[in-house]
Amino acid sequence: MRAILTAETVRTLGIVLLKPGRELMPLFSRGRILVESVPQNMTSLTPGRVPDARQPLAEDSEIAGFFTDERVIRIAGGISGLEYWLENRRHECQYPHSEYHHDELVTMRHPPGAIRVCWHCDNKLRDQSTELLTRIARENLIEWIIEIVLRDLGYNRERVLSVAELCWWALTHGASEAITESLARQALRLANEPIPSVWRESDIIPTELATSILERHIDSYSPAPALQEPVLDAPITPLLVDPEPPASFFKKPKRIRWENQSYLAWVKSQPCECCRQPADDPHHLIGHGQGGMGTKAHDAFAIPLCRRHHNELHNDPVKFEHKYGSQLEMLKNVLDRAFALGVLA
């Protein structure tokens, strides 16, 4: 969500007061907020939330069947995902009338999706089925799926979703059967074939379906080799599990530090967890109960870092984690990759 906010400056104290308003206040509860000058193309907009891009696909009746397909709804997150989205997006009753509205809201399921209504309207509309409720539920469903598609493709709501992008998302997420022939022809920009009133047998030439063309392309698609994680033929470091080691029976056992140079060499070969550039050092976890005086964390608690970020971390660990994230989160990502690739087994 982007917004244009008004500001008042208290010159004597050097304080800038922003007026987000009730609609935009949730922005400030999600964490850090970026404040920047208004772009040239937005100078004519009034203060408030910047409207999302208009999505022509949401208004195309020929594509409505795709959005209401059960397979598309399932891969987008199911009706429960739509309900969660409505709870965070709709903060007022969607049923239009001039009567009383209760302050508490609930999510009411109605084919083909769901509607956000107040308690009063929920009691009134429960078990009812009207054209108005169906239209509202369908609009919610389509808006939700379009937002999911944009998110999965790496875009925000300011982008206008195209038919080609919609079909690409369906193909790569296993919903190719929901793509109709007319939708596939739009994605491939194929002209509609004229249908004469009278056919001669010699004029009947079978053509390949547009959906078959899309499926053939997706079958031949594979990510670029540079984006694929290396798959190792054999584990570098086998881990032996002993549920009852002798030291566990001692009252005060002596701790033994786990060391493995092969694993450290693999960690060093991974990209830096901060900048994704080639790493220079396998950094051992410090803080969080590790790396105290005269001790060093296990080699399993190593994180790949380039020299610049490694020095930055040791100079000020608190500032580093505030800027790049927790070391524990980075360590989790490294261990997850190590186990997934068979480095640790």
Task: Please give the Cα distance from 84 to 107 (Å, whole number).
Answer: 9
Structural domain including 325 reads 258-341
> Is position 325 within any domain?
yes
Residues 30 and 86 in one domain: no
Same domain flag for 73 and 112 = yes
Q: Does the residue 177 lie in any domain?
A: no
Model confidence at 227, pLDDT cuts 50, 70, 90, reads: very low
Strands in the chain per DSSP E: 3-4, 6-10, 15-19, 48-49, 105-110, 113-118, 281-284, 302-305
pLDDT at 1: 58
Question: How many angstroms separate the CA atoms of 1 and 16, rounded?
Answer: 21
* Residues 126 and 61 occupy one common structural domain: yes
Domain membership flag for residue 188: no
- Spatial neighbors of 247 by CB under 8 A, at least 6 apart, are 253, 254, 256
pLDDT for 237 equals 65
Clarify whether residues 22 and 113 are in a common domain: no
Evaluate whether residue 172 is within a structural domain.
Answer: no
Whether 218 has a pLDDT exceeding 70, the answer reads no
The answer to whether position 141 is within a domain reads: yes
pLDDT number for residue 305: 93
The Cα-based distances of 205 to 189, 208, 210, 301 in angstroms read 20, 10, 15, 65
Does 53 score more than 60 pLDDT? yes
- Asked whether residue 82 falls in the same domain as residue 45, the answer is no
Q: Is residue 244 part of a domain?
A: no
- Which single residue is written with the structure tokens 């206008």? 160
Domain count of the fold of the chain: 3
Q: Dump pLDDT digits (tens) for 279-295.
A: 888 999 888 777 655 57
Looking at the fold, whether 39 and 69 belong to one and the same domain comes out as no
The verdict on whether omega for the bond into residue 112 sits within 30 degrees of 0, i.e. cis, is: yes
Boundary of a domain, candidates 120, 143, 166: 166
For tokens 């009411």, the residue is 108
335 within 8 A of 304, measured Cβ to Cβ: no
Residue at 231 is within a domain: no
Which backbone phi and psi does 110 adopt, to 5 degrees? Answer: -150, 130
Q: Are residue 76 and residue 42 in the same domain, yes or no?
A: no
Is 214 within 8 Å of 115 (Cβ atoms)?
no
Is residue 73 domain-shared with residue 138, that is, in the same domain? yes
Shared domain for 45 and 75, answered yes or no, is no
pTM (2 d.p.): 0.51
* Residue 94 domain-assigned (yes or no): yes
CB atoms within 10 A of CB 85: 22
Average pLDDT (229-233) is 55
Q: Residue 115: pLDDT band by 50, 70, 90 thresholds?
A: very high
Q: Which residue has the tokens 């786990």?
A: 258
**Same domain for 60 and 41?**
no
Whether residue 337 has pLDDT greater than 60: yes
**How many other CB atoms sit within 10 Å of the CB of residue 171?**
20
State how beta strands 3-4 and 48-49 pair.
Answer: antiparallel
